[in-house]
Amino acid sequence: MAFTDMHKRIDDLYYDPRTTLWGGGASAELENFRRLPVLMIVHQQQSSPGHVGNWFQANGFKLDIRRPRYGDPLPETLEDHAGAVIFGGPQSANDTDDFIRREIDWIGVALKEEKPFLGICLGAQMLALHLGGQVRAHAEGFVEHGYYPIRPTQQGSEVLNWPDHVYQWHREGFTVPETSVLLAEGDYFPHQAFRHGEAFALQFHPEITQMVMNRWVTRSAYRLVMPGARPGPAHRSGHLHYGQRQRHWLGEFLTKWVRVAIR
């Protein structure tokens, strides 16, 4: 069955050798590495790591899900973790809440230890702030809610083949820190992804599942009338059209991201 066969549900988790890490069999080194959990930092009680978590579990990793907002501690070292992911949330990276400040400061642990780090949406903005960048709203009030086109930069094209549309849900964007490399651009928000060593920032949401998307569209319908937002039906039709390609890209990205730590 072809990868693009639309008879499969978009959010089914199935084996595809093009988006799995171990291919023709894992070495002892890979097997030992796979025993390390991946730290997942989320910001609401009902938050899920979505397709990011699905991919890691399908490849034999355990998930260490923590919610610092609700009192969970952050590890002093990532020695016992394969890497770390900070996800999005309704907060702003500019908020003065203690847990926001702690998470931004904590990113230094991953950077110092050169562990794979991924920031998604809010997590990406936290990484930008940690590195000296800025986070701010669009000057004309535009938002991105729905699927939007992105374009890889030359440096981004050297890393991966990027999807042409990705799912967005944000009102603020980041500037690219001076020490980082811009990987992908957009229209309303020109900075969509950057890299700093083994740390990556993604403004968009490759982890999105259809269930979570439907929840966001239903519970936050008031946001869909903001300038630039896609109407509700466009979220669902966009997910049918672009969701599978975005998820395949996520598998390719995470494969490369994890292999960094094995070298």
Q: What separation in angstroms does the CA of 87 have from each of 3, 16, 18?
A: 27, 25, 24
The band of 254, judged by pLDDT with boundaries at 50, 70 and 90, is very high
**Cα–Cα distance between 139 and 61 in angstroms, integer?**
41
Give percent of the chain with pLDDT exceeding 70: 86
pLDDT digits (tens, 9 = 90+) for 75-117: 999 999 999 999 999 999 999 999 999 999 999 999 999 999 9
Closest CA to 81 of 113, 122, 55: 113
Domains of the chain listed by start with CATH number: 17-262 (3.40.50.880)
Q: What is the average pLDDT across 39-53?
A: 95
Please give the pLDDT value at position 24: 39
Roughly what angle, to the nearest 10 degrees, separates helices 98-113 and 122-130?
70
What pLDDT sits at residue 31? 63
Residue 208, phi then psi, degrees to nearest 5: -60, 135
